[in-house]
Structure 1
Amino acid sequence: MGTTGKTRGFIVLSDLSKIGPYLTDLRARGIAVLAVSQPRGSVMVQRGLELLGTAGHPFSELADVALLDGGDLSGIVDQASRWTADYDITGVLVAAEVYVEAGQVISDLLGLPGPGMRAARVCRNKLLQRRYLAEWSPKSVLVSAPATTAGYDGPFPAAVKPLDRESSIGVRLVDNAAALAAIVEALAPGSRILVEERVRGREYNVDSIVLEGKPIVTLLTQKGTNENSTEFFVELVHTTPPANLDEREAGLIADAQHGVVDRLAFETGFAHAEYRLTDDGRVVLMEIAARAPGDACLPLYHLATGQAVEPVLIDAAMGHATGYPPAFRRRGRQVYFDHAPGTLLDVHAEGTGEVRPRWLADTTGIWPPLRPVDEHAPAKLHELFVLKKRGDRLLPITESSSRAVTAIFDAPLDVDIDAVEAEVRRAVTIETEPAR
């Protein structure tokens, strides 16, 4: 019980599939977990909704769940206020992009740590990021429909970014002014896009845990997308720590991140940014979010350092002193597999030992925890997740929701992680039936 005599509670705004580590840690602390999650969404979201209230499932340990859209600020704030009647709210944590602003408003209302109003607002808007963080940003132009011209006079190819979507959804390349004009002409009235210079270079996730305005640790993850084979920028590979970065280059990127955090007046929480490092040493901000990264980025930190990130984020949200080790002991990687479009029939794995395809969307609907191994242990495939159901239609990978199968593995730092990846890819086959 808290000092008020009420049960201690903690609000987590997250997709249900990724709430597991927070739920486990908070329940171990004797704190009730109050969840805000989406009422609709991907196959994984729908499976999670089906399992709410199921006896024996981790979701049964949730004290309460409110199914509210991220844009329903009034509904989310009202729900949080009603929870305060029964619970002494000790912290608020956002683990899904759509809830960043609502989470900050709740934190501010309840006098709890959060990233701050400026950071939350700017991180939710690509245009504001470009204007507030111009020192680190590519040249960009805002285009609204209807428009007779894009108004972009920069070089081609150029990147087109819808303002109403998260992450890299809808981001694509255009090769010339005519192609750009065609996209603008096809926009629905009132739609807005950013058109900006195409920045080439190695790309990295840069993650800072920030306490009262000070980054206590900044960690880097190497990224790989499908940009070299398509006009899209879907994330397909994450590597922690990077295998293609020296100490000087890492310092340049970390310096840029700390400058961005300072400009945003970022208070407390997780600053998740993406940067490119060009061949001439320029560090360019692609985007920044005021929440933890998605995919398996947090599990990769756990595997690579031996310590989970989620308890540290919970500590920070509660205003407790905390820390995270900056040293890596292994190298982890997550890959998403390409697939032939069509109906998903099966996923086969040969030569992977005890690791078999785990059909999350057909079974538990929640990502299970990954367990670090000894730093000198041989390369290990930890999980092979299927994020769609048998019979689902698989589309070309043009955005994150198109991805269907992913593997997570790690190896000692002196082992060639690319060679390990090649073995994993040879072992996995995705069987689809082409559309007629």
Structure 2
Amino acid sequence: MSQKFFGTDGIRGKVGEFPLTPDFVMKLGWAAGVVLAKDGTKEVLVGKDTRASGYMLESALEAGLSAAGVSIALAGPIPTPAVAYLASTFRADAGVVISASHNPYYDNGIKFFARIGAKLNAQQQQAIEEKLHYALENGIDCVSSESLGKARRVEDAAGRYIEFCKGTFSSDLSLEGLTIVVDSANGAAYKVAPSVFEELGASVINIANTPNGVNINDECGATSLRLLSDAVKANNADLGIAVDGDADRIMFVDGNGEVVDGDEILFLIAREAKQAGYKGGVVGTLMSNLGLEHALQELDIPFTRTKVGDRYVVEKLNETGWRIGGETSGHILNLDYVFTGDAIIAALQVLTVVVKSGYPLAKLKAGMTKLPQCMINVRHNNLDSVLNLPNVKQAVADVENQLGKSGRLVLRKSGTEPLIRVMIEAASDDVAERLASELAAVIKES
């Protein structure tokens, strides 16, 4: 049976519409509980972001898990990577996050973590899907009253995660003297992120840290950096840090208000790791800028690409034995610390570079030169066949010949919409835009 509900980052959708309904989530909790219990799970740690719908979905999930005989430890609003970490330290056997990450407030989602802090593997997801289909057709089989799972509130989950994050920053270093603007996206890290940087010595200016249930990711956070850029310049801050709604994604703004994206963050982390003796390589995705690849080559650091999605980055890291990887969008992984994207841990790694070097972030990022990119989304009704048409193949070959080794073409089918994504990197904006437009026109008319 193919997976109908699980995407690359759990199950996600608009609240109130199938599958993000209370009834579905209760049955999902039951299905997950049955499968995980067979693997020895007795208790699941549940966290959520600041969406108003989180309370409703948490209750439904709790009911389903309890009916399967699995107990629940409720951590409240807390970053996704905190749940991944705490699942392994609170003696929980698995973790669940109720969040739609960087999506608007009216969306929500459910994602699962194994005890070690990594996302569930494909086999576990498949088994949950099968039980879920049974529950949707037949209802759930509730265990006897004496076997029902119990629920408890976890005390000081945020405090424990804060201490863990601080522990990844060298005790020989301090953030004293740095003024940092922190944009918490009105999300799960609105208390945790500022506390970490303040307790390490930084002077922190907070923005987007007053969640009200519907303002999460609303023109703020890692996917909307204008507010952060303006605040950095207005306060003459050294830099700005933005996380997304569940704090698994990170973006920086330098002292000039310019964006420092996931590719540049990866470059800084990898260069520092190399200087500290790291022998491995870096895993990026199809969307990683060619400039990152070139910069790593100059440092003699191996680089490889995967499909878009941090799940695929983790798989490739495990396959290669490397420790560092991530996406342009800001999902940054360092398996020396955690097994999932963690915005705060990644931020501290970059801040380590800033403090040790004594240079501003704008100068540090200049060690990597990004190539101009142009992406055009082409709506098409025949995604499975259009790229195999002779005229499209010829157009692709013509573009690749014109780019040579000085650029790159990526064609991707959207996983959620009838779109072909045409992305071109070239030596100049004009060339990237011209070639992307020409190829997009061929695809659209075919």
TM-score bracket, normalised by the shorter chain, equals 0.3 to 0.5
Question: TM-score, with normalisation over the residues of structure 2?
Answer: 0.32
Structure with the higher fraction of residues in strand conformation: 1
Relative to the length of structure 1, the TM-score reads 0.32
The structure with higher relative contact order (CA 8 Å, sep 6+) is 1
More helix per residue: 2
